Structure 1
């Protein structure tokens, strides 16, 4: 739905409460008292059918139609059956936003037979009013003295936004945060989320300068694509931390149909949040611990940790938790060890963790920190203290705070205990140093910081290109369409192998036989040991074991080297098939040469489809001796080599591959290439519902697929992350030089050429583009330019073969950023200095204008320096309205692409232009 009218929700100048009375148990009365008690400065009104003169001193009218003014926000606390009617009347009266606190609307039904909450959504859509809820605790904006909730206490102002889906959990979060001194910029819950949804709120908060971090409590994600797009934008600029409840089937609030090959939904949410750059934590306590480290600690230069304490015990506890969490201890340099040895007892262990002894003084703590600060191998330090009779905890805290100043270290502390260390913890809080009560919590928070940086790196990694993204696969496309036209919902084993071969995935040579006699004929010709597999209708579907639960079913006999052995094997396989799959039609036998591979290293890779999150790429172990489903890891397409390797790294089989493969790096690359190929297959052919290669083995050239099965669906499955829009590619001929140039959307693989493009431009061109002189563009800078979300932004680049014949070079680029409501986009364009006068800038701008107009964007805007005459002339040629902005000392450019269709669009654009 976007951010339409959300400003009226978060910053209302007037509020009406429907259903408030002075009864102690009146929901509306509680909300009204919180509004007044919080010091809300705006105008208040009550609507109550009992026709009171006032409620708690606030004027009251009997009906919505009698309101003396049109409020920005309505808070509805009336009985469930009245709410749809109230929403309709409020919308017709011109009220822009409403909070529906009434509960039970998911259980009570209307005359249409649907739950009442759907009638609320229908009324909102017909009248244009935005609705938060039903069944929400409400909204707090502490900095604006707005407490529009029925919560037992208010929140303190701060820089953190919290969005929840449960009112009772939200109440405990307020209590918890207050005790920790955490303040909020916004605090609200979605309730049933019938109109205003999670993605709408994230879009708003991503643009809010007063919000530095976003906390999410998620029970379900109704609109996966919108959520992914919104969160990816938000997480690039501020930390997003999420708790997802309902991790096991027994605790899921809404019934959820599992995708084929998976036995739990939780790994799907793991994959979604990781790909969105979100740090997922296990509970509310961890949420605030992670918030403390992410907002108070600097980015980590290393992932190792040095630990120091006034005793052995605390250090051992911290090391145990670090090892359990997959962290690593920092190695101390020899110089550091020698310096510390001069301060510590002779029996010191001379290694990390550092035991300062029980009587460690403030001076010793400070000197130890200074020594570690000089060690190039040490970046992060956990400083711990256990209360003792010999030293004062506050004095040691003061010494630590002073010692940390001016160092490059990331320091966080753990003052064990409670009653005697509170002053010390307050001192750390005032100094901006994270502090924790227990070693386990401190180390967990540190590891969360590491995990957050890892998922952030996945957003900006430059992938390695290994294959032609634009190869012609029309043959496979025709094969799929023929099968669907014939009414089939799966491919035969032979057809599935053809699909893989068409995409460059090697398969074991296979002979298909109708009966045992044909199998023996194949063997008599080859005279080599063979493997024989029985094929039946059910076996043509992927993830057979997970579908049927018949994990003991034997479909293949291996290393058969005589006719007698083959006959026995065929009979045995037929008996197995008839016992386990009597309803599945027999198709025949598949005969393959017996393959040699490193024992135990076999992968199951494939594609499955979730009803909400679309296609998923899966990877894990294969084999009868391994719990395949337990090792199965998930990633969202599209994948590149970096993302594919990260998916592979999470599997147990990755560790075996590293340890037992004769060439681990080559094999890791080969599996990653296969995963990227599967990702491309499901993007190119969205009718593929499921695909499983099991096992995937290795030969001299890379990976080889032994068996494959493919399911189809007439309903295409679209990835929730928009893949590369190939249809936007266009070749042009430059009129002056006759040079042939391709204009296409940017790919992450363009990072090296893009960096060279920026580095070779003149200082004047750089100033015109970035409004300042820049001498250096880091890999991270340029990676952010090319790693884009095609749903939210677009970058077209002009590429051509290099004159020396070595690859391609970037000659120009144009980009737009579009707001969440697709109202306005802002452009920036830059052309290589040597291409000036070729018309390339005009071609790029026209390409972008046409694209944005086709998307329905209402207007395009930009800023140009007054002395950038070539760009100003091009803008006038393209039809832009050009005006001088005295405040910013730039030229404002504006081009109407489409006429606004709705009043709110005209209002928003009008307000933005003033």
Structure 2
């Protein structure tokens, strides 16, 4: 993950096109014509071994070594077998970036037997040149008159960045966007993406002030951990909308090896993009519709929608689509109904959707909007118009624009038709109101806005504390280590139960029997109904899924209440096991008393591991009457209660739980707690490859695990979202007060204490920290401070038990933000006013300095107000260089942590300022 040299790619002062000629079908010649036609203002040259004097009027030389300048960007359009050598040559001549447009390199092999595109990657890594492609359409930066593509047309300047993967798709996007008036800040495709990837570009675009939204088209994500880290940063500040193609195995460009218990890879991408705050859409049309609402509508105060039209039909279509997408209609207040009744015919429906009647005038539209604007139940309004003989489309559109101005409503429109309403749509575009061709598209675009806001809330939601992050699980880890030491790749049924029980998950009391006679002995103790399960080696592995064409395997028989029923049941189970798993060793039976749990709603929850995306948490239905696989939903660990509830909400079983449970809220919480615990288990014990609880049922104690299976892997699994780094915890004792304080990374659960910490500080301390006086910190403000990506940020807090015994309080905090290349981090520190003289600021800063130095960061920088004497003294004590910055009237602080080893690092640090 690096933005190294990307400025040379996006804003090159000089370009060389390699392989260009004046043949009409020559790829380099097409690129050169687009550069000239776009008005590129920098220096241009051509390299062609034929030795032309010029190509399309641009000076040409036969070799790169004959160029009289070192270009910022080289565009390679030569045959596949020549490209790796050319990339290496350019790198040796200190060319910083190259675009490889040559295609077919994934199917053309080198002498080593690997595709040529990997030779391009190796050449780039060895010489340090950055490469876009191979097989890319190229790059456009319209505001800088840069069209380095072979596209059939140029893009217009705008504030949207498009990063695609397919050149042919990108060509259609340009055409489509031009027709809709959508302009671009940057437009490019990755092609094979051998060097520059989505993560690099997203990092660059996240910091670009000219980009208001990012559009992504992806066929695969080769580096999911890096992608997640970069896109989570970007999506906090600007909308990120993605089309991920390859929904089904037949359309996947690179086949995905599926983890146990999952039949399609697409839900994994869904879970990843949702966790990253990205709005995923189903196609390019939806992408631009969503862009329309996300960039032209305000944030939604409510999710309910009011609908008005000059007829019943359009309103009904809109309501149907809204219901299909899980949306809700706004309920009109009685005052609104009464006011509308004075405006509309007496036979109107007196409810939402509102029928304005076919002859509705501009005045009627305007008055109806003003009435709804006063209704506290209405926040979003879809205004529709269908052409009639009595109405004037443009006059009504103008009335809607005027009425919408100055209201708190989110207004968007749908002018049905084509030939007679185009002027009206242009009017809406100029006024900044989203407008759509059909009710279905309008409602879909609105619901995309709703979905985007929901995933954004998941980024900033503060979870309630549940999992004990600090409990000692040493015995459980030792149990797993012993199994691996003895070469076992699974735990026994008994051991698996112990693992989940040690983490606080209730389990059914279970007896283990070697044969049928022991089962009868267990029954004889109480002579109450029992459930019997056959145990064999393969049954100790989770997700024992059979082929859909195979008859369902029955491994458990319930409520056996006599000796004869038990003997018959055991024989049946043995027959079932031997038919389906003849090579699996018999291990005995497990016996549970039927009265220990209630029947009803059964869940299957667990952990599986993907080779690319790491551990995954799964949740869905269990039981023979339900197709378990169709309801299995996925989330990425680590989870908190909010994320766990969101995972549960996506399952079909959630609806059954809400409708049929006697205690729905308690049961929902119980399942969510179990999911959070499973997430913590796989983080604490990364050698657990898979874990399945099936079924998970409910009793008066909450959720209870009936059957548990765990398999192992001596290669630890690593989540693509870095979990809480427990190893960084440190206890200290303050010298003056003697208070015992823990210095540790911040957790999302610290939000309440963090908010109180800021609110208790003096106005002067707040001004020193935030460069302004602030009287209030919202919950969202503080949530963003504690919801961090440990890959990019670090926040150490100093916490101690409150003197009244009610939980912990925060006494100090230090944070750093690190750039994508890990060159420079910017710090901020704040200590409770009561802690003066305790040396807590020194402790926090020294811990952060040590942490950043260990992870290879080159410099730590910060800005301090000139009158902040305590901080300046602390910085001087820690060895910072301190200089006055007259432009910003602050003191710039700089501390060298590690010496740069590469030229590009020295160059970037030499140009650096106080800010990242």
TM-score (norm 1): 0.99
Superposed CA deviations along residues 648-682 of structure 1, whole A, max 9, x for unmatched, are 11111111111111111111111101000000000
Using the TM superposition, give the Cα deviation of residue 551 of structure 1 relative to its aligned residue in structure 2, in angstroms: 5.4
Using the TM superposition, give the Cα deviation of residue 467 of structure 1 relative to its aligned residue in structure 2, in angstroms: 3.3
- How large is the Cα RMSD of the aligned pairs? 1.0
Structure 2 match to 1:160: 160
Give the secondary-structure state (helix, strand or coil) at the position aligned to 2:721.
Answer: coil
Q: 1:105 and 2:126 equivalent? A: no
Using the TM superposition, give the Cα deviation of residue 595 of structure 1 relative to its aligned residue in structure 2, in angstroms: 3.8
Task: Please tell me whether the aligned partners of residues 794 and 815 of structure 2 are also in contact (alpha carbons under 8 angstroms).
Answer: yes
Using the TM superposition, give the Cα deviation of residue 703 of structure 1 relative to its aligned residue in structure 2, in angstroms: 0.8
Structure 2 match to 1:299: 299
Moved beyond 6 Å, runs of 4+: none
Superposed CA deviations along residues 117-168 of structure 1, whole A, max 9, x for unmatched, are 0110111111110000000000000000000000000000000000000000
Structure-1 separation of matches of 2:217 and 2:467: 40
Structure-2 separation of matches of 1:909 and 1:394: 57
Structure 2 match to 1:465: 465
Using the TM superposition, give the Cα deviation of residue 588 of structure 1 relative to its aligned residue in structure 2, in angstroms: 0.7
Structure-2 separation of matches of 1:583 and 1:739: 62
Task: Please tell me whether the aligned partners of residues 373 and 408 of structure 1 are also in contact (alpha carbons under 8 angstroms).
Answer: yes
Aligned ranges 1:432-581 → 2 under 5 Å: 432-546=432-546, 550=550, 552-581=552-581
Structure-1 separation of matches of 2:701 and 2:94: 68
Structure 2 match to 1:678: 678
Q: 1:901 and 2:901 equivalent? A: yes
Structure-1 separation of matches of 2:597 and 2:316: 43
Using the TM superposition, give the Cα deviation of residue 195 of structure 1 relative to its aligned residue in structure 2, in angstroms: 0.5
Structure 2 match to 1:360: 360
Superposed CA deviations along residues 491-522 of structure 1, whole A, max 9, x for unmatched, are 11111111111111111111111111111111
Give the secondary-structure state (helix, strand or coil) at the position aligned to 2:187.
Answer: strand
Give the secondary-structure state (helix, strand or coil) at the position aligned to 1:348.
Answer: coil
Structure 1 match to 2:179: 179
Aligned ranges 1:799-878 → 2 under 5 Å: 799-878=799-878
Structure 1 match to 2:791: 791
Deviates more, 1:792-801 or 1:579-588: 579-588
Task: Please tell me whether the aligned partners of residues 260 and 547 of structure 1 are also in contact (alpha carbons under 8 angstroms).
Answer: no
Structure-2 separation of matches of 1:193 and 1:466: 41
Superposed CA deviations along residues 479-498 of structure 1, whole A, max 9, x for unmatched, are 11111111111111111111
Structure 2 match to 1:133: 133
Give the secondary-structure state (helix, strand or coil) at the position aligned to 1:328.
Answer: coil
Aligned ranges 1:409-428 → 2 under 5 Å: 409-428=409-428
Structure 2 match to 1:636: 636
Structure 2 match to 1:582: 582
Task: Please tell me whether the aligned partners of residues 465 and 749 of structure 1 are also in contact (alpha carbons under 8 angstroms).
Answer: yes
Structure 2 match to 1:147: 147
Task: Please tell me whether the aligned partners of residues 105 and 135 of structure 2 are also in contact (alpha carbons under 8 angstroms).
Answer: yes
Deviates more, 1:888-897 or 1:548-557: 548-557
Give the secondary-structure state (helix, strand or coil) at the position aligned to 2:109.
Answer: coil
Structure-2 separation of matches of 1:538 and 1:777: 55
Aligned ranges 1:664-813 → 2 under 5 Å: 664-813=664-813
Structure-1 separation of matches of 2:462 and 2:579: 52
Give the secondary-structure state (helix, strand or coil) at the position aligned to 2:295.
Answer: helix
Superposed CA deviations along residues 232-255 of structure 1, whole A, max 9, x for unmatched, are 000000000000000001111111
Structure-1 separation of matches of 2:633 and 2:642: 15
Structure-2 separation of matches of 1:547 and 1:311: 52
Superposed CA deviations along residues 259-292 of structure 1, whole A, max 9, x for unmatched, are 1101111110000000000000000000000000
Give the secondary-structure state (helix, strand or coil) at the position aligned to 1:545.
Answer: coil
Using the TM superposition, give the Cα deviation of residue 526 of structure 1 relative to its aligned residue in structure 2, in angstroms: 2.6
Task: Please tell me whether the aligned partners of residues 217 and 242 of structure 2 are also in contact (alpha carbons under 8 angstroms).
Answer: yes
Deviates more, 1:646-655 or 1:523-532: 523-532
Structure 2 match to 1:269: 269
Give the secondary-structure state (helix, strand or coil) at the position aligned to 1:342.
Answer: helix
Give the secondary-structure state (helix, strand or coil) at the position aligned to 1:154.
Answer: coil
Structure-2 separation of matches of 1:598 and 1:562: 20
Deviates more, 1:542-551 or 1:598-607: 542-551
Give the secondary-structure state (helix, strand or coil) at the position aligned to 1:220.
Answer: coil
Structure-2 separation of matches of 1:837 and 1:575: 76
Deviates more, 1:845-854 or 1:542-551: 542-551
Residue 379 and residue 598 in structure 1: after superposition, are their counterparts in 2 closer, same or farther (change >3 A)?
Answer: farther
Give the secondary-structure state (helix, strand or coil) at the position aligned to 1:714.
Answer: coil
Task: Please tell me whether the aligned partners of residues 9 and 72 of structure 1 are also in contact (alpha carbons under 8 angstroms).
Answer: yes
Using the TM superposition, give the Cα deviation of residue 596 of structure 1 relative to its aligned residue in structure 2, in angstroms: 6.1
Give the secondary-structure state (helix, strand or coil) at the position aligned to 2:545.
Answer: helix
Structure-1 separation of matches of 2:309 and 2:761: 53
Structure 2 match to 1:83: 83
Structure 1 match to 2:347: 347
Task: Please tell me whether the aligned partners of residues 598 and 661 of structure 1 are also in contact (alpha carbons under 8 angstroms).
Answer: no
Using the TM superposition, give the Cα deviation of residue 638 of structure 1 relative to its aligned residue in structure 2, in angstroms: 0.2
Structure-2 separation of matches of 1:143 and 1:610: 42
Using the TM superposition, give the Cα deviation of residue 913 of structure 1 relative to its aligned residue in structure 2, in angstroms: 3.5
Structure-1 separation of matches of 2:547 and 2:816: 46
Structure 1 match to 2:382: 382
Deviates more, 1:373-382 or 1:462-471: 462-471
Structure 2 match to 1:398: 398
Task: Please tell me whether the aligned partners of residues 598 and 660 of structure 1 are also in contact (alpha carbons under 8 angstroms).
Answer: no
Using the TM superposition, give the Cα deviation of residue 786 of structure 1 relative to its aligned residue in structure 2, in angstroms: 0.3
Using the TM superposition, give the Cα deviation of residue 18 of structure 1 relative to its aligned residue in structure 2, in angstroms: 0.4
Structure 1 match to 2:16: 16
Task: Please tell me whether the aligned partners of residues 508 and 596 of structure 2 are also in contact (alpha carbons under 8 angstroms).
Answer: no
Deviates more, 1:590-599 or 1:578-587: 590-599
Q: 1:58 and 2:61 equivalent? A: no
Structure 2 match to 1:94: 94
Give the secondary-structure state (helix, strand or coil) at the position aligned to 1:329.
Answer: coil
Structure-2 separation of matches of 1:651 and 1:476: 31
Give the secondary-structure state (helix, strand or coil) at the position aligned to 1:814.
Answer: strand
Q: 1:308 and 2:303 equivalent? A: no
Structure 1 match to 2:610: 610
Residue 891 and residue 549 in structure 1: after superposition, are their counterparts in 2 closer, same or farther (change >3 A)?
Answer: farther
Structure-2 separation of matches of 1:859 and 1:542: 47
Q: 1:324 and 2:330 equivalent? A: no
Using the TM superposition, give the Cα deviation of residue 600 of structure 1 relative to its aligned residue in structure 2, in angstroms: 3.4
Structure-2 separation of matches of 1:808 and 1:585: 52
Structure-1 separation of matches of 2:697 and 2:173: 50
Give the secondary-structure state (helix, strand or coil) at the position aligned to 1:804.
Answer: coil
Task: Please tell me whether the aligned partners of residues 314 and 439 of structure 2 are also in contact (alpha carbons under 8 angstroms).
Answer: yes
Superposed CA deviations along residues 572-614 of structure 1, whole A, max 9, x for unmatched, are 1111111111111111111110146554300000000111110
Structure-2 separation of matches of 1:57 and 1:467: 69
Give the secondary-structure state (helix, strand or coil) at the position aligned to 1:200.
Answer: helix
Superposed CA deviations along residues 371-425 of structure 1, whole A, max 9, x for unmatched, are 0000000000000000111111110010011001111000000000111111111
Structure-2 separation of matches of 1:617 and 1:736: 47
Task: Please tell me whether the aligned partners of residues 46 and 58 of structure 1 are also in contact (alpha carbons under 8 angstroms).
Answer: yes
Q: 1:47 and 2:47 equivalent? A: yes
Task: Please tell me whether the aligned partners of residues 155 and 178 of structure 1 are also in contact (alpha carbons under 8 angstroms).
Answer: yes
Superposed CA deviations along residues 693-737 of structure 1, whole A, max 9, x for unmatched, are 000001111111110111111111100000000010111111121
Using the TM superposition, give the Cα deviation of residue 466 of structure 1 relative to its aligned residue in structure 2, in angstroms: 2.0
Superposed CA deviations along residues 52-81 of structure 1, whole A, max 9, x for unmatched, are 111001011101111111000000000000
Deviates more, 1:857-866 or 1:733-742: 733-742
Give the secondary-structure state (helix, strand or coil) at the position aligned to 1:782.
Answer: helix
Structure-1 separation of matches of 2:445 and 2:710: 43
Task: Please tell me whether the aligned partners of residues 529 and 595 of structure 2 are also in contact (alpha carbons under 8 angstroms).
Answer: no
Using the TM superposition, give the Cα deviation of residue 834 of structure 1 relative to its aligned residue in structure 2, in angstroms: 1.1
Q: 1:649 and 2:633 equivalent? A: no
Structure-2 separation of matches of 1:466 and 1:245: 37
